[in-house]
Structure 1
Amino acid sequence: MIRWRKGRVERVRREWAGALELEVAVQGEDGTARALAYPALVGRPEPGDTVLLNTTALAMGLGTGGYAMVVAVPDRLPPDPSGPGHLVKARYTPLQATLLGADEQDSPHHEVLREADSLDGMPVVVADLHSALPPILAGLLAERPGTRVVYVMPDGGALPAWFSMSISQLKDAGALAATVTVGQAFGGDLEAVTVHTGLLAARLVLDAEVVILAQGPGNLGTGTRWGFSGVSAGEAVNAAAVLSGRPVASLRVSEGDRRERHVGVSHHSLTAYGRVALARADVVVPGLPGGFGARVAEQAAALAHRHDLVHVPVDGLREALGEAERAWGVRLSTMGRRLDEDPAYFLTAAAAGRHTASLL
């Protein structure tokens, strides 16, 4: 379940909005390890502090989440929280947090959201993985600079939005306007109870022109047809449609994944959009070259009975992705693969952004 350890903070390695990456000496173990602390939850650890750690992910060697997590700084507890807020997230876990929800009665936005029922045709770009967020933005903003984009983060991956360096970097660069965390996820600029109120808050409170909705980092998959957290992509299509939004489905495509079920169009996309999504969406099919591009188009055709397939050229998108990576300081990476190692993945997401720009 949980591996509990005590540690000593040696130094702060780096920090970004909402998170501190630390170097800690773990009691009873040789050397040091990376640890992650969320100051809003546990206070700010300093060098020399004793920290209580959950080292489960570190012991498992997880890629995305391979940190020891700081659970508490027991000798220097943070002050009690103050202010309104009745939403409890990460409920009934030792680190449950009370937050102010945009849709709760004490919120200044409650009246706006109380009877809200429409996104007024706003495009909602849905993707499986968190790593799709930067390339979708790159494709969108290359075609329509200055578009106000809000990210809605459900709880299929990381619960704290602070875990994502990409969110922090994209906001600092001005590419992303804000984040709304929904369900059990927390730490966004706004909190909401459901995907539905999160979408409405993005539109009516944060003035979004476009929403991108994808899991946070660290999705879960079991290699089974239905056992993956990305089924939420299909549910997001339904939520956007029922609220009179314009769902745009970004396919998960890979030429570099070693797992056959993810080569070409991933079975995650085929299941989420082909079985879970009951409402129609624009499914963006990238114009990738050669036999691999033909394979992707053929696989995507299986979705034509339920969705509108939109074929989008990818010319110029490779350059747009490289420029975005340099300008925003965001590292384009998916499952450990960079742009040069799996260009099809990033071009597909960027094509979804390009198509979305054409809807505005």
Structure 2
Amino acid sequence: MIDIKKGTVIEIKEIRDGVEEILVDIDGIKEKAINYINLTGRIKKGDIVYLNTTAGNLKLGTGGYHFVMINCNKNSITSDKEGHIMKMRYTPFQIKCFCVEEQQSPYHNMFLNDLDLDGLPVIICELHSMVPCAAASVKINTGNNVKIAYIMTDGGCLPISFSKLVDCLKKSNLIDYTITIGHAFGGDYEAVNIYTGLIAAKYVIESDIVITAMGPGIVGTGTKYGFTGIEQGEIINAVGILKGIPIAIPRISFSDKRDRHIGVSHHTLTILKKIALLPAIVPLHRYSSEKLDLILSQFRKEEILNKHRIRIKDGWPGVTYVKNIDFLQVTTMGRSINDDPEFFLTSSAAGIVASEFLKSK
């Protein structure tokens, strides 16, 4: 069931591409809400709106936002965009998207061919927060002329406009283009699945390096297979099948309060041992010897070193670069770079590995 409440818009706090952050009055209480322009049109002060308050009522990790479902002050909204592919299909919010591979696309005929990635380096993240340091590390090691495409999957939030991080990364020139796949929507390009998304990154955008990750909001249950980040293993397989270079960022932390996420997260161990059927490169930072020994022992115990290749690099340059961007505040599970440095250093090391493949071509 959906929790729905009626409110009045009292302030428009911020407008980004595709999204408006607003304040609404709900029964005399001021609450934060998100209005997706592509779904419900633009909003103005005084509008009466119906809001999905389900996640907010559960105190889930949506940043404390409710979401506008209906603007009572609009009689109708008509999309003027092209496209025949529906995302969020058969829901009240199904949205028309123009996908790169559909019949009306100028790229349709290209997708009829048996294309591969021809050694394209693809950095594969489990969490959205891994993207910034990986991208920064690529740029500072190869130069700003290198073109990075970010593919956002539908394992987390679906509208890419929800991510303030993506907005900041584009403004900082750390990522150049975005592709939203599956039911995720709102990227510079839309694609039906990870395979066509990767091909679009290679041949439509002509990217030098690709980064894949879900949007904000990973789902986890504390069980072996019950987390949406398990898609990382499936993307490793997709990149391998398409003859790209899969570079899988392991989830490393020494600050998480949960034992299953200390050192190498149980998520990473499951992904690399059980889900990834094809080999990947697994980057690590030059941690202290004590921490590195623990990480490698965890990998050995799960026989991961027999399948995947470890590359150890210094992740500090990318991390330092990100820390010096004033308007880019990066956190993972509420922890900053200073709180959980090993997590971000690992992501940065992945960027170095990817850029070295690019330099060797």
TM over 0.5: yes
> Any conservation in 1 of the 2:83–2:99 contact (CA below 8 Å)?
yes
Q: Is 1:332–1:339's contact at 8 Å kept on the other side of the alignment? A: yes
Query: Does 2:283 align with 1:284?
Result: yes
User: Counterpart of 1:346?
Assistant: 344
C-alpha separation in 2, matches of 1:167 and 1:2: 28
Larger mean CA deviation between 189-198 and 66-75 belongs to 66-75
1:157 is aligned to: 156
Say whether residues 1:189 and 2:188 are aligned partners: yes
Mark the runs of 5 or more structure 2 residues left unpaired by the alignment: none
State the one-letter code of the partner of 1:161. I
User: Aligned partner of 1:331: which letter?
Assistant: Q
2:255 equivalent in structure 1:
256
Most deviating of 192-201 and 267-276: 267-276
Check the 8 A contact 1:43/1:77 in 2, yes or no.
no
Q: Contact (CA 8 Å) 1:126, 1:233: kept in 2 or not?
A: yes
Match in the other structure for 2:15: 15
Contact 1:170/1:328 (<8 A) preserved: no
Per the alignment, residue 299 of structure 1 pairs with: 298
2:130 aligned residue: 132
State whether residues 158 and 183 of structure 2, in contact with CA within 8 Å, keep that contact through their aligned partners in structure 1. yes
1:106 paired to 2:98: no
* Separation in structure 1 between the aligned mates of residue 293 and residue 16 of structure 2, nearest angstrom: 41
User: Is 1:122 aligned with 2:120?
Assistant: yes
Q: 1:317-336, aligned counterparts within 5 Å? A: 317=317, 320-327=318-325, 329-336=327-334
Q: CA–CA distance in 2 between the matches of 1:145 and 1:197?
A: 27
Q: Report deviation, 1:116.
A: 4.3
Offset, 1:306? 1.3
My pick for the range that moved more, 104-113 or 228-237, is: 104-113
* Corresponding residue for residue 94 of structure 1: 92
1:328–1:279 distance in 2 versus 1, CA, 3 Å:
farther
Matching residue of 1:204? 203
State the one-letter code of the partner of 1:128: E
| Match 2:44 to one of 39, 46, 67 | 46
Q: Match of 1:255, as an amino acid?
A: F
Mapped to 1, the partners of 2:110 and 2:326 lie a distance apart of: 33
The share of aligned pairs that are identical, in percent, is 37
Once residues 181 and 92 of structure 2 are traced to their aligned partners in structure 1, the CA distance between those partners, rounded to angstroms, is 20
Q: Given residue 171 of structure 1, which amino acid in structure 2 is its aligned partner?
A: K
Cα distance in 1 for partners of 2:291, 2:236 equals 27
Secondary structure, in 3 states, of the residue corresponding to 1:311?
Answer: strand
Question: What is the CA distance between 1:311 and its match in structure 2?
Answer: 2.0
TM-score computed with the length of structure 2 as normaliser: 0.95
The Cα shift of 1:11 comes to 0.5
Verify the 8 A CA contact 2:158 2:185 in the aligned structure 1.
yes
Aligned residues: 355
Q: Does the residue aligned with 1:327 lie in a helix, a strand or coil?
A: coil
Question: Within 2, Cα distance between the matches of 1:54 and 1:92?
Answer: 18
Conserved 8 A contact 1:169-1:328: no
Which residue does the alignment assign to 2:233?
A: 234
Listed as ranges, the gaps of 5+ residues in structure 1 are: none
Structure 1 distance, partners of 2:128, 2:40, is 25
Query: Which SS does the other structure have where 2:248 is aligned?
Result: strand
The ranges of structure 1 where at least 4 consecutive aligned residues each deviate by more than 4 angstroms after the TM superposition are none
- Amino acid aligned to 2:304: L
Once the two structures are overlaid, the 10-residue window that deviates more, 131-140 or 293-302, is: 293-302
Alignment-derived partner of residue 213 in structure 1:
212
- In structure 2, which of residues 53, 56, 79 is the aligned counterpart of residue 58 of structure 1? 56
Asked if the contact 1:253–1:263 (Cα under 8 Å) also holds between the matched residues in 2, the reply is: yes
1:225 partner SS: coil
Is the Cα–Cα contact under 8 Å of residues 55 and 62 in structure 2 kept in the other structure?
Answer: no
Contact 1:248 / 1:352 at 8 angstroms: preserved in 2?
yes
Mapped partners of 1:297, 1:329: distance in 2? 36
- Distance between the aligned counterparts of 1:12 and 1:64, measured in 2? 18
- The 3-state SS of whatever aligns with 2:351 is helix
Q: CA shift at 1:14, angstroms? A: 1.6
CA apart distance, 1:292: 2.1
- Compute the TM-score of the two structures, normalised by the length of structure 1: 0.95
Contact 1:173/1:328, CA 8 A, preserved across alignment: no
CA RMSD of aligned residues (A): 1.4
The answer (yes or no) to whether the contact 1:89–1:99 under 8 Å persists in 2 is: yes
CA shift in 2, pair 1:78/1:358, >3 Å: farther
Matched, 1:337 2:335: yes
Quick one: which amino acid aligns to residue 84 of structure 1? Answer: E
- Name the aligned partner's letter for residue 75 of structure 1: N
Q: How far apart in 2 are the matches of 1:328 and 1:243?
A: 38
* Secondary structure of the structure 2 residue equivalent to 1:5: strand
- Distance, in Å, in 2 between the alignment partners of 1:267 and 1:103 is 36
For residue 214 of structure 1, give the secondary structure of its aligned residue in structure 2.
strand
Shift in alpha-carbon separation, 1:231–1:78, aligned structure 2, 3 A: same
**1:33 is aligned to 2:34:** no
Cross-structure match for 1:6? 6
Deviates more, 1:14-23 or 1:211-220: 14-23
